[in-house]
Amino acid sequence: MNEPTDKPRAGSDSPSETRPLPVVDAKAPDPARHRAPEEATAAAPARDETPGEAAESEPADESPYLRADNLKAHGHSGTIVEGLTVSGSRGDLLALSGNSGTGRTTALLALGGRFGLDTGTLAVGGETKPDRIRDLCAMTTATPAVDFEEFHTVREVIAETAVLSRGKADRSTVERWFSALGLSLNPKTMWGHLDAMEKKLATIALTAAEETPVVLVDDVDAGLDSEDAAAAFGALRQVADSGRLVIASCVRADPPVDTAISLR
């Protein structure tokens, strides 16, 4: 993947370059190849079989794991996100809903400590420093700027994710998440030859495999029809049920989540 420069482009929801996700100052598929999580498994795997067991160490605490109050961030062309207030606990599924240009990718980056804030407060797991917040939040892609290389194979994408996650998303964990989400891919297939749903499920699995308390997924329903979008949200629900706080950005105005924050 390619690495972004310091600042995002003016007026863009996401940084201007690609890969890995940095801190920036300013800001119908074939069912035989992939199945919706509901079809792939009758229910989410039992806790002792589900990837992401690190999430089980969550302390009993009534307060939200992530709390963002009145966040504001700007790019070269002005304010991108303003007045963003979000809170969620591990096990919750949240969505930032908005059309193109509403700042949903920037908002997601900001919640993960990956975009500089002008005002507001952000705490994740009791941490308020951006570098500590980044350690608690996994975010694999922020399309179109940060994405996997089209000519890399699935095997290479898995290996790259392992390196960029400092070994947290190892191959066996990724493969367990592939299985949990009903995804079967030939490791020799190029990323660019996967269809939209395969890429989406693979991205969710790769992000979940980092086993951080917070999982951030950008554009979860982008390029998907209603049936596949529902399956993608179902996959996110499985990740949340493993004990993570999952926050996704989406276009859909009424996503099937616990809390939807409209950026429109």
Domain total of the chain: 1
Give the domain CATH number at 237. 3.40.50.300
- Please report the sign of the dihedral spanned by the C-alpha atoms of residue 131, residue 87, residue 146, residue 264: negative
Contact at 8 Å (CB) between 162 and 171? yes
In a domain, 204, yes or no: yes
Task: Enumerate the β-bridge partners of residue 122.
Answer: 68
In a domain, 242, yes or no: yes
pTM metric for this prediction: 0.78
Structure confidence at residue 46 as a pLDDT band (50, 70, 90): very low
Structural domain harbouring 44: 39-56+63-262
Calculate the alpha carbon distances from 252 to 91, 96, 222 in Å.
21, 9, 9
Instruction: Write out pLDDT tens, residues 112-137.
Output: 999 999 999 999 999 999 999 999 99
Q: Is 203 exposed, middle or buried (0-12, 13-18, 19+ CB in 10 A)?
A: buried
The closest alpha carbon to 117, from 26, 31, 54, belongs to: 26
In a domain, 109, yes or no: yes
Contact at 8 Å (CB) between 230 and 256? yes
CA–CA separation, 69 and 201 (whole Å): 31
In a domain, 177, yes or no: yes
In a domain, 2, yes or no: no
Query: What was the pLDDT predicted at 52?
Result: 54
CA–CA separation, 243 and 117 (whole Å): 28
Q: Where is pLDDT greater, at 43 or 141?
A: 141
Burial 91-103 (b: 16+ CB within 10 A, else e): bbbbbbbbeeebb
In a domain, 250, yes or no: yes
Calculate the alpha carbon distances from 84 to 10, 104, 139 in Å.
20, 10, 19
Calculate the alpha carbon distances from 224 to 198, 200, 213, 231 in Å.
10, 9, 27, 10
Query: What was the pLDDT predicted at 143?
Result: 75
In a domain, 255, yes or no: yes
Query: What was the pLDDT predicted at 140?
Result: 85
As a whole-number percent, the residues of the chain with pLDDT over 70 amount to 76
Instruction: Write out pLDDT tens, residues 9-44.
Output: 434 454 444 444 544 444 344 444 444 444 433 334
The closest alpha carbon to 34, from 147, 252, 149, 182, belongs to: 182
In a domain, 124, yes or no: yes
Q: Which amino acid is at 37?
A: P
Q: What share of the chain is helix, strand, coil (3-state, %, to 5)?
A: 30, 25, 50
Q: Is the confidence at residue 8, as pLDDT, over 70?
A: no
Q: Is the confidence at residue 241, as pLDDT, over 60?
A: yes
Contact at 8 Å (CB) between 108 and 247? yes
Query: What was the pLDDT predicted at 60?
Result: 52
